[in-house]
Chain A
Amino acid sequence: MSLPDQAAVQTQIASFETELTHARTARDAQAVRDRYLGRKNSVVASWMQLISSAALEDKKALGQRANELKQSIEARWAAYQASADQHARPSGAIDVTLPGRAPTLGRRHPLTLVRDRMEGIFTRMGFAIVEGPEIEDEWHCFDALNMPAEHPARDMQDTLYLATPVLGESRRADDKRTMLRTHTSSIQVRYMQAHQPPVRIVAPGRVYRRDDLDLTHTPMFTQMEGLAVGDGISLADLKGTLTAFAREMFSPSALVRFRPSFFPYTEPSAEVDISCWQCEGAGCAMCKRTGWIEIGGCGMVHPAVFEAVGYDAERYTGFAFGIGIERVAILRHQVQDIRLFFENDLRFLEQFPY
């Protein structure tokens, strides 16, 4: 028998490891260990024996190799034992890598998830969430909002009307609903009729417009309109409120910009832009190179609205805003086509968390 060389040390270590990996049971593993480290007839024992019979000049090198082998295998055995729990595979063991039997979970719609998130933000800012009817009368949807009959602004709203009036939830004969609400501002009117200031509400819900279906329009969509009325509420307060919303919804460093605009029920009125959170204002595809993204409209409640609901327009001031929930969802989730929200393809819906 030739004397084991340095390569033989590595070969023995490798074969020990291979055998150990193939050991099915703890007993198998112990047998492998004994073959290499046992007192008698083991690999290490036979190497030790070789030292005594080796030539004097070989003894030192051989002793070093035998010791190296012994220590290496002992170290590997200790490591194996330390993780023996994981390696052990008793007979009848299950394959833990097979798929689990998960309870079937459906998903909530992305518009619900976004709406819930928005409701959470505004609730923490002291806004109560209020709902209202989808079929409305023109007084609550237009007249009370400073859009009397024949007002040109009514043309801005492509309204869907009912062929015959339907009784409202009060079931009173004079509570006749004639149209589908074009905005949830009608909820705010109903709320102000029933409550005195201070008022701080958000009104989410579906609204309807006589619009074709395309990439960016649907005849039904969901809005969240906010209203705060009290003593000394200002346009700067509106900017602060919307900034707080934008920072939680989109980016902690978001800025809000007001561009003057026109809505009959607010004065002053503005479009609300948020600084683009993707390019930090430098200009990118999402913000169409402007650095700003429009998310809704807002303004100070027009005194005529307060007069219509019987508030003291001299004492109270207030702000109102409207944000499209689809718009927020599109921006947050980079949805390319608004129709996806209403097509309800499960391959789309299942991309959102439970």
Chain B
Amino acid sequence: MRVLVSWLRDFVAVTASPEELAERLGLRGFEVASVEPAPDGVRPPWAQMAAGLDGVIDFEVTANRPDCLSVLGFAREVSTLYNLPLRLVTPVTAARVPNVEVSLPVVAVTIEDAERCPRYAAAMTAVTATTSPRWMVARLEAAGVRAISPFVDITNYVLMELGHPMHAFDFAKLSGGRIRVRRATPGETMTTLDGVKRELDTEMLVIADADRAQAVAGVMGGGSSEVSAATRVVVFESAYFQPASVRRTSKRLQLKTEASSRFERGVDIHAPVVALERALELTELIGAGRRGAVVDRYPSPRSPRTIVLRGARIGLILGLTIPDADVERILGSLGLALTRRADGWNVEVPAFRVDLLREIDLIEEVGRHHGFERLEPTFPPMSMAAAPADPRISRDRAIRTTLAAAGLTEAVTFGFIQSATARRFLRADDATQLVTIANPLTALFDVLRPSIVPGLLDVLAHNRRHGRRDVAIFEIGARFTIAHGERRAVGLAWTGAASTEHWSGSGREVDFFDVKGAIERLCDMLRVPVHWTPTAAPYLTAGESAAIMAGDSVIGIAGLMVPKIVDEHGAPKQDDVFVAELDLEALEAARASGVARETMGGADETVRPLPRFPFVVRDLSIVVSEALSADTIRGTIQTAAEGAPAPLASIAFFDRYKGKGVAEDCVSLSVRLTFQSAERTLTDVDVQQSFDRVRAALVQTHGAVQR
């Protein structure tokens, strides 16, 4: 809302500079976008002041204050701020009804939908001139409105001054000399002032003549009854339309106007007649015409809203004591009527303050004009200990530090991605699983990500394009599918070196086992034992991808990206990019279901006693089929050692060799077996017996050959 200071002074005799007004109103809830010097010619004869004191302040008006979409609204704020009287536009009383041009016809007004239009007033005017004075044109332009013709200018002037939208019809174009406020008929159309033919629906309110719609009520007038140079008699419309109805119509027609934005927030139900009188006064002032009769249809007058304001409640909410006299001055100045009661006041709210609905709204008004700057900072007393934090907070912090300690840097990417990309990361390329955004701003963000990985690949590609050879990144965040809803996951992507390059030359490129190691460290930290099984996924290279399992449930996936997809994300396709993703909710479920190590985590965090008896280590080297998995061999060893005299404490694979001396499809494996008993010192005989059992089982089950 652009407010011209000299216009403001028509209502309140403030002498402050535009800059000061801007700053002080800025602290009363009206953010200032700009302060500009006033253009020439904006001061009519009665508004003389030094040009330097005039100016245009552009305020941002919050949605709850439609009354301040007007000079008058700001005048009221200024009068409260500076404790100055407000000069209202004098309401016309019966005693001073001016001369009326009796020869003018009178429009016949009928309201056929009083719910959508509780009040409709109209006034007749005989046209006598066709130009507006320079000050009116200049004031409108200062307010950001282009001058058009006297009668349109007058409605716009009243709009800016009082905040009440009006419309002007050419009376001759209203068939039957009638105005019917009715709903549109099925299939009815109308061409609005902007030249667009509008298809109306039966929920929309229109202003019609005897034959057809001439305006969309509260939104925009029609072209066929527009005031023109040939117009002899003008009908001013000044009405109150139901906010919800205007809002709906404006939304349906995708047509937002100065009028609709005010009506939909709520205008003053008393304003129609005041605005009409002001328009007639201006008409005669600028010599544009002579006034005729005024028609006012207001079938069920509304009574004003009364709110109880308790003095004690003001102090309780604000934490500040405000003297009663100040409360009365502030609210009185804002146009509210206060009457004393034992615990405070009965407050009658004027109809233009549509935002003041309950006691708290009045407390805000008192606090706002008393000044929030007077609040002394205090601290809320604690009456009980703080609640524990969401357990995910500490878990996610631990995940971040663990992965960062493993050399991966945290990324944050958007929760939405492109559907074409997203499809590739679904298990079966089942696009119906994607959570689609109904109103995406761009096709690049049209679905919620079903996986963290695609976003990470974009980040990886960005860094590769900027000369980064080695990229290791992770992200924790939500991912979404129709079947599983929102789930939190951690994803990682890794390409280039496995560790920082060093002059001693120990560099190595990242491989599957680096990623596996990082995930294992993470799961170990979270105390969920996992195992890995080969799996297939459309985005992972066959033979180098695995499902991460906790017990029988899949909690994640890891592997080498398909080069084509790496290429599509904009990274070189010859890059080996390893990715992994863990579903943190599946992981939590696994932990809760008791898959977690018996001796650690979950309910049982009891420490094991340190062993009292020494351990014995035996190494075993065998040649087995290459197809045999380490997990299978481990299983065979564990089964064989069960019940053996020397208990097996751990199994470690410490060497794997293929090549000279080992048959083509075979592999030489070295396994370190550690035996230890909690009850006694093991003898050589015990250990040998256990060792032999293991060896025999490997020979028997897998045809292993000892080296």
Contact = CB atoms under 8 A, between A and B. Distances in A.
Interface of A: 98-99, 101-109, 111-112, 116, 119, 123, 125-131, 133-135, 150, 152-153, 155-156, 160-164, 166-169, 171, 177, 180, 195, 198, 200-201, 206, 208, 210-212, 218-220, 222, 228, 230-237, 239-241, 243-244, 256-262, 267-271, 300, 302-303, 317, 319, 341-347, 349-350, 354
B379 A241 contact: yes
Contact of B316 (A155, A232, A345): A232
Given A135-B448, A233-B380, A235-B372, A129 B410 contact: no
B317 A300 contact: yes
Interface in B386-426: 386-390, 392-393, 397, 400-401, 403-416
Nearest to A175: B485
B414 A135 contact: no
A130 B499 CA distance: 36
A65 B384 CA distance: 84
A248 to B, nearest CB: 13
A166 B368 contact: no
A163 B436 contact: yes
A345 B317 contact: no
B26 to A, nearest CB: 7
A236 B367 CA distance: 11
Contacts of A228: 380
Given A101-B502, A123-B386, 18 more contacts: A106-B472, A116-B397, A128-B389, A131-B390, A135-B448, A152-B265, A168-B486, A177-B485, A180-B448, A219-B441, A234-B319, A237-B319, A244-B379, A260-B27, A262-B65, A342-B412, A345-B466, A349-B411
A107 B409 contact: yes
Nearest to A136: B486
Q: Which label, helix, strand, loop or mixed, suits the secondary structure of the A interface?
A: mixed
A347 B466 contact: yes
Contact of A239 (B377, B482, B500, B502): B377
Given A230-B383, A261-B62, A354-B404, A317 B317 contact: yes
B390 to A, nearest CB: 5
Interface stretch (B86-94, B330-338, B355-363): B355-363
A139 B508 CA distance: 54
A99 B502 contact: yes
A260 B28 contact: yes
Given A234-B319, A262-B62, A349-B409, A101 B390 contact: no
Contacts of A237: 319, 378-380
Interface of B: 26-29, 31, 62-65, 244, 247-248, 264-265, 316-320, 358, 360-361, 363-364, 367-368, 372-373, 375-390, 392-393, 397, 400-401, 403-416, 435-441, 445, 448, 459, 462-463, 466, 468, 471-474, 477-478, 480, 482, 485-486, 499-500, 502-504, 506
A302 B360 contact: yes
Contacts of B388: 128
Contacts of A130: 389-390
A129 B367 contact: no
Most buried by A among B486, B500, B506: B486
Sorted from nearest, which 7 A-B pairs have the closest CB atoms? Answer: A234-B319, A236-B319, A104-B407, A260-B29, A262-B62, A240-B377, A268-B364
B439 A160 contact: yes
Given A152-B264, A206-B415, A126 B485 contact: no
Nearest to A202: B389
B390 A129 contact: yes
B135 to A, nearest CB: 33
Contacts of B390: 128-131
A106 B403 contact: yes
Contacts of B448: 135, 162, 180
Contacts of A180: 415, 437, 448
Nearest to A197: B383
A144 to B, nearest CB: 17
A105 B407 contact: yes
B389 A129 contact: yes
20 contacts: A105-B407, A106-B405, A106-B408, A109-B410, A109-B411, A123-B389, A163-B438, A166-B435, A167-B485, A210-B441, A232-B381, A235-B319, A236-B319, A236-B376, A237-B379, A261-B29, A262-B65, A319-B380, A342-B412, A344-B411
B413 A342 contact: yes
A35 to B, nearest CB: 39
B368 A236 contact: no
B463 A166 contact: no
Most buried by B among A127, A258, A268, A341: A268
A268 B363 contact: yes
Contacts of B438: 160-163
Contact of A344 (B445, B462, B502): B462
Given A104-B499, A123-B389, A127-B386, A235 B485 contact: no
